[in-house]
Structure 1
Amino acid sequence: MLNIVLFGPPGAGKGTQSQKLIARYNLVHLSTGDLLRSQIAQGTELGLRAKQLMDEGLLVPDEVVIGMIESQLANNTTAAGFIFDGFPRTVPQAQSLDELTRRYDTGVSCMIALEVAEEELVKRLLERGKTSGRPDDQDETKIRKRVTVYNNETAQVASYYAQQNKFHGLNGIGAIDNIFGQICEIVDQHLPATPVADSQAAADEVKA
């Protein structure tokens, strides 16, 4: 199973690259942002609490996010793999993800981080805010707060995966297709091995 953690600060381009990766590798997209916004749209208790935190540029508690991810894993046991977009965002979440995936006899294949300077992020998010309707995309103070939260807490996850030799950093500024090509070069190195040896052995046995 191919499991990719796509990483980067708000506005780095994770959503765009996620869709291209899903189409190429037939992955299930797990975006904590989308899951939370779905709860908000439904007006659930979780959604109301999440909206308050997201509007303030703060992270949703680990236990809430982890519970949603576990539910998605349980509902997609036959998937070719997953792309985790916006998760894990803390080291405890990364540790929990390792525990969760082990229960399903799999694990994180690689972690790819899109690296973009803060001023570019602010510019991108303010532009996105003109059409997204999201309050946290329309206020520069909130945007910078989100980036600070990322730098102070989320970026530590990179070190966690680096210790497992799974971290890959990429420049997130440039043509979308060029960045995607670089991502695919990394992903292809982590594709599950095909049982070539077993297939050949079976073929030899038939011939015999």
Structure 2
Amino acid sequence: MTNDHTQVHDPARVREFFGSRAARWDERFPDDGPAFEAAVASLGLRGGEVVLDAGCGTGRALPYLRQAVGNTGTVLGADLTREMLDEAARKGRGRSALLLQADVARLPLGTGVVDAVFASGLISHLPRPGENLRELARTVRPGGLLALFHPVGRAALAAHQGRRVSDDDLRAEPRLRPLLAGSGWRLMSYVDEDDRYLVLAVREG
């Protein structure tokens, strides 16, 4: 959804916050393209697969996801905020994906129909993380993957905000691992560097 430094959880506030920033969102983060491309590559997607960008925002990952699954694959971009989806369409990213205005708490998708989920910044904005991750898991086939991504690591983000990094952070491995496990996911890899936060998890059967 975002690499903004503000964490908002209430759905109405999320829509308000991102809706007012949608038109200039990409201008604020002009150099993130290579990081998105590398994060998408980490999913190891194959031609013909179905991938969901949950909290796709202005759709910066969508062209890379389309490249990964090819013309025979399906790319879905879901976001809660209409203005973000409108901006994605205005930038032509709707050609790479089917854009859906949807809440991750109630995705309009069948069970086990998705091969992988890509989620940029989403974890910081989930009102009920356990339930919401479980809903993502519902849509993914057993063995499918989840990538939780952020172009900035936790320590760099904390320094920008003038605070110290804390293990109380939902994105910290000691908190995230059991949260994923209780939501149908098994943590496979955890990377938290200054210029990248990337968690990969597999959907358990």
Q: TM-score range by the shorter chain?
A: 0.3 to 0.5
Work out which structure has the larger RCO, using CA pairs closer than 8 Å and 6 or more positions apart in sequence: 1
Output the TM-score relative to the length of structure 2: 0.39
Structure with the larger helix share: 1
Q: Which has a greater percent of strand?
A: 2
